[in-house]
Structure 1
Amino acid sequence: MKVRFYFITITLACLVLTACNPQTNQIEKTQAPQVIEWEYQIAYQRGMEAVTWSLPAVSMICMRNASFNLGGGYNTVYWLSEIPTAKQEALTANNQTPYANVYLNTKNGPVVLDIPPASNKTALFGSAVDIWQEPIADIGPAGADAGKGGKYVFLPPDYDGSEIEGCINVPSGSYQVFVALRCIPIGGATFKEAAEYAKNINAYSLAEINNPPQGNYIDIAGKHLPTLPDYDFSYFGYIKELMDTEPLQKRDMVMGGMLASIGIEKDKPFIPNDKVKSALTKAIADGYNYLEYMFETPGFSLIKQWEGRQWMNIREPSNDGFVFDEGEYLLMDERGSLFHWATFFPRHLGKATAYLNAMQDADGNLLKGEKQYKLTVPAEVPARDFWSVIVYSKKTKAWIYNDLGRVGLSSYDKENMKLNDDGSVDIFFSETAPEGMESNWIPTNGEDFFLLFRFYGPQESYFDKSFVLPDVQLLK
């Protein structure tokens, strides 16, 4: 028995050794080593990260370029004399108040922005941001001038001089500064009367402060303004411009090295070979899809407003408001997610305007352009001034083109809408108008969409969440 046991043991051992021998293992012999195209993989991965990282700045560059294509340039005031339409292709703009935008460049020294005091017909509300859309100054009644007007002096990143006396000094982390202002009608003023007040804004170099030049004003009403980034290979050209024209901040040094590895370096030509170009083309397409994922997923730029409801509020990323590097590291995903669908956030929300986002119906399904929906707005909404609801394209995050030219409705429109017996109002969203409810209808033109509900002058029941807005209901 012992002999037989030893024989069996030796035989099994031989079989095991034979199986482990690569020369006799036919399975292992037929497996070819995996070949990885490292040049492609690295360009793709670093391109993906670059999309999310650069988005706030690329968005500003595209907005600036669209405005400059209408004439003017830095220090020009671009204003709207009439209610905007879908031709002004901007991320989630509102159509209720006139806008005025100014683009500044401090590369050659500080730049002055004259802000007029609030009048009996208009008050200016807005903010100035650097190229990364980090707020550097709130302007108007909620800003440093407190509605009294003043001279804001924007200082370049490398400024080493003294403060400018009698002015509101604003250091900037980038040479370029972007200013967006809303001309709020007050005292019964019309849209046009409020818009005209933009002509009291002026921008010029600090050297001209004692003898300011006449301002340059371009009315963009009725003109095509394509400010949206193109998510194709051209996107990396904007990143190249960013690297050439702005200082690389310490927090971004690693990204600078990653960009250099794929050929994007300051003051050097960007001429990628076919393999890298192919990888970056895929990276921008997948980068857009990742931004969409973050847009749809609570926790990045949006959070649930009420438990069990679909409405979402905007998530402030830090204790200091809309600042993404307050802590030990840069909140790159949260920043990219927010500026994928919005621009020009003040440091803190809530004083002048509050926003709620709906991209799902009451059952949690994304809103579809081919379907019909209804939102019932209660008779009493905690908005001291007015409320509005606007439809935006899910794809572009801008207004949807439609034959009616209607992008939203507001409490100002209630006198023309059909109200329910309790004073509430039903607003419909669909490709075609519900019969007899045309005045209560916002066209979707068949595009998938989402909503922003704005509270102008939000009141306490909004903040303590005792006011609850009904979810969007699918009709058919």
Structure 2
Amino acid sequence: MKTKFNYLIILLACLFFMACNQESKQLKQSQLPQNIDWEYQMAYQRGIEAVNWSIPAVSMICMRDANFGLGGSYNTVYWLSAPPTASIEALTANNQTPYASIFLNTKEGPVVLDIPPASDRTAIFGSAVDIWQEPVADIGPAGEDKGKGGKYVFLPPEYGGKEIEGCINVHVNSYQVFVALRCIPLGGASYKEAAEYSKNINAYSATKISNPPEGEYIDMAGKHLPTLPKYDDSYFKYIKELIDTEPLQERDMVMGGMLASIGIVKDKPFQPSEKVKKALKKAITDGYDYLEYMFETPGFSFIKQWDDRQWMAIREPSNDGFVFDEGDYLLIDDRGSLFHWATFFPRYLGKATAYLNAMKDADGNFLKGEKQYKLTVPAEVPARDFWSVIVYSKKTKAWIYSDTGRVGLSSYDKENMKLNDDGSVDIYFSKTAPEGMESNWIPTNGEDFFLLFRFYGPQESYFDKSFELPDVQILK
């Protein structure tokens, strides 16, 4: 009898345990998310990360393709014989100084870039960057040649050959190198004279260094140049090109795995399913919105210049300048937020140019295209060479089209503007010009906008912040 009782106790215990275990399984199952399409969800999430990660490189590829659309190819010098207008669709470009752009490819071996010395009429300032827009060489008086000119030799990834004596040898982590140069007029030189200096620049294979070929030069003036990244279905095709043509660095291996999960694999066709296509289409839209959020939010690519004002300065991401690889980690948000609106940053700011950004008026409201605003620029601005203020579309980060063709004003224009009694100048921003102040007006064409105020040859009062630029005032 006792034995039967013990068996009964054991049986009841087992039944109780089984019931509890079953209840636990049911509970766990009921806590799992229901009706989630994980293939879609992961493609969407990884798509957003891919947008943020890739924007520096995609921007460079789009710029390269736009220039090649004018003719020429790698090693061609693209230059501007006249001040550019809004038909040059580029991220926050400057309209005051002549530009020259050169695209290099070291896939077949080292490439030489000949830079002429500065003269008493023109000096070249600029940078060479890799496909990630990481500065690899500053060029000109503020760069490695110190204004004396020279031969920059760009060496491909994992280059095992000898460096070329007597040259400035630059090791690069990508095959493609992108060069943007400004030809600064000096000593009363005209824009055209400084622009013509671009024809002293040359690029060619290092195998021809002893007998350089004639350079190829294409004038971009007056031509349409659509360099802006497009946040649409084509975006992931640019990422595919990037994976196919450039080495994936060790720091990017995890992202390489994420891209593989959505079908972007080196040297394999990119043929996403309809479901993945839908997810990536949503990802590119939301990826753009995330980049916009970082653009607007201090702490990513901007910081406050003065605590009591709306002007923001560009934030250098690390003590080593505009280099986003910290060794243990990659500053992916800092990098994405910066190259969403800009290109071609030198390693360090301040030697040639300093920038301030205004997205908001004195009341802290975003600048609107249908409103009218005024900025009073003091008589004395700490810019040894000149200052300029330019209007950019909030949506595209490029110049705004208008019938006038005017995109900005500068200290070069003061002789044509109306000045205040104390020497300061009022500059107006609106869809239509204030009566009698047409010479002091930059059109917005009704588009929401932001400003960049540039200091060329910034001086000490900019850096110690004793110079204060008034906020933008709303008029109506």
TM-score category by the smaller chain? over 0.9
User: How far 1:421 moved relative to its partner?
Assistant: 1.1
Asked whether the equivalents of residues 150 and 167 of structure 1 are also in contact (C-alpha less than 8 Å), the reply is: yes
Report how many aligned residue pairs link the two structures: 454
Match of 2:309 in 1: 309
1:335 aligns to 2:335 (yes or no): yes
Contact kept in structure 2, 1:372 and 1:428, CA below 8 Å: yes
- Name stretches of at least 5 consecutive residues in structure 2 with no aligned partner: 1-19, 24-29
1:390-401 map, 5 Å? 390-401=390-401
**2:165 aligned residue:** 165
Q: In the superposition, relative to structure 1, how do residues 33 and 361 fare at CA in structure 2: closer, same or farther (>3 Å)?
A: closer
The match for 1:212 is 212
Matches within 5 A, 1:93-172: 93-172=93-172
User: Which deviations, in whole Å up to 9, do the C-alpha atoms of 1:57-80 show, x marking residues without a partner?
Assistant: 000000000000000000000000
Number of the residue aligned with 1:283: 283
Residue 180 (structure 1) aligns with:
180
Whichever residue aligns with residue 390 of structure 1, its letter is I
- Are 1:264 and 2:264 counterparts? yes
In 2, Cα distance between the equivalents of 1:166 and 1:32?
67
Shift of 1:121: 1.3
Name the counterpart of 1:461. 461
In terms of mean alpha carbon deviation, does 318-327 or 170-179 score higher? 318-327
Amino acid at match of 1:81: S
Give the secondary structure class of the aligned counterpart of 1:62: helix
TM-superposed CA distance for 1:187, in Å, is 1.1
Instruction: Tell me the secondary structure at the aligned position of residue 199 of structure 1.
Output: helix
Deviations 1:429-460 (A, max 9, x none): 00000011100000000000000000111111
Residue type of the partner of 2:352? A
Q: C-alpha deviations, 1:314-343, integer Å up to 9, x for none? A: 000001000001242000000000000000
Aligned to 1:86: 86
Aligned to 1:414: 414
Aligned to 2:44: 44
Letter in 2 for 1:362: A
* Structural mapping, 1:350-365, within 5 Å: 350-365=350-365
> Which residue of structure 2 lines up, in the alignment, with residue 17 of structure 1?
none
Q: What's the counterpart of residue 344 of structure 1?
A: 344
Equivalent AA in structure 2 for residue 295 of structure 1: F
Q: Quick one: distance in 1 between partners of 2:198 and 2:384?
A: 24
Shift of 1:135: 0.2
**1:259 and 1:424 mapped to 2: Cα distance?**
54
| 2:389 alignment counterpart | 389
The offset of 1:163, in angstroms, is 1.3
Matches within 5 A, 1:235-254: 235-254=235-254
SS across alignment from 1:48: helix
Gaps of 5+ in 1: 1-19, 24-29
Change (3 A) 1:376 1:205: same
Deviations along 1:378-407, one digit per CA (max 9) or x if unpaired, are 111111111100000000000000000000
Quick one: which amino acid aligns to residue 96 of structure 2?
A: Q
Aligned to 1:451: 451
Q: What one-letter code is carried by the residue in structure 1 that aligns with 2:436?
A: G
- 1:317-328 residue pairs with structure 2 within 5 A? 317-328=317-328
Letter in 2 for 1:124: I
Residues 226-261 of structure 1 deviation map (CA, whole Å, 9 limit, x = unaligned):
000000111000000000000000000000000000
Listed one character per residue, the Cα deviations across residues 167-205 of structure 1 (whole Å, up to 9, x for unaligned) are 100000100000000001111110000000100100000
> What SS does the aligned partner of 2:199 have?
helix
Q: Give the match's secondary structure for 1:148.
A: coil
Whole-angstrom distance in 1 between the partners of 2:339 and 2:213: 34
Q: Distance in 2 between matches of 1:104 and 1:210?
A: 19
- SS of aligned partner of 1:133: coil
Structure 1 residues 416 and 280, CA, compared in 2 at 3 Å: closer, same or farther? same
The one-letter amino acid of 1:98's match is P
Q: Which runs of at least 4 in structure 1 moved beyond 3 Å after TM superposition? A: 30-33
> Does the C-alpha gap of structure 1 residues 337 and 32 become closer, same or farther in structure 2, counting only changes over 3 Å?
closer
Confirm or deny: 8 A CA contact 1:114 1:201 kept in the other structure.
yes
TM-score of the superposed pair, with normalisation by structure 2: 0.93
Q: Give the Cα–Cα distance (whole angstroms) in 2 for the partners of residues 82 and 447 of structure 1.
A: 26
Q: Which residue of 1 aligns with 2:427?
A: 427
Quote how far apart the aligned CAs of 1:308 are: 1.3
For 1:31 and 1:328, the matched residues in 2 are separated by 37
- Deviations for 1:250-296, whole angstroms, at most 9, x for unmatched residues? 00000000000000000000011110000000000000000000000
Amino acid paired to 2:153 = V
- How far 1:48 moved relative to its partner? 0.2
Aligned to 2:10: none
Letter in 1 for 2:147: G
DSSP 3-state at the match of 2:369? coil
Q: C-alpha distance in 2, partners of 1:468/1:422?
A: 16
The 1-side partners of 2:68 and 2:423 are apart by 46
Query: 2:435 aligned with 1:471, yes or no?
Result: no
Query: 2:126, 2:392 → 1: CA distance?
Result: 22
AA in 2 matched with 1:256: G
Q: CA RMSD in A?
A: 1.8
CA contact (8 A) 1:355 1:454 kept: yes
C-alpha contact 1:320 1:326 (8 A) present in aligned 2: no
SS of equivalent residue, structure 2 residue 258? helix
Instruction: State the percentage of identical aligned residues.
Output: 84
**Which one-letter code corresponds to 2:64 in the other structure?**
R
Q: Are the structure 2 counterparts of residues 171 and 416 from structure 1 closer, same or farther at C-alpha, using a change threshold of 3 Å?
A: same
**Aligned-pair CA distance for 1:363:** 0.7
Equivalent residue for 1:228?
A: 228
TM-score, normalised on structure 1? 0.93
CA distance in 2 between counterparts of 1:297 and 1:51 reads 18
Change (3 A) 1:379 1:247: same
Offset of 1:309 from its aligned partner?
0.5
1:203-222 per-residue CA deviation (whole Å, 9 max, x = no partner) reads: 00011111111000000000
Name the SS of the counterpart of 1:435 in structure 2.
Answer: coil
Letter in 2 for 1:37: D
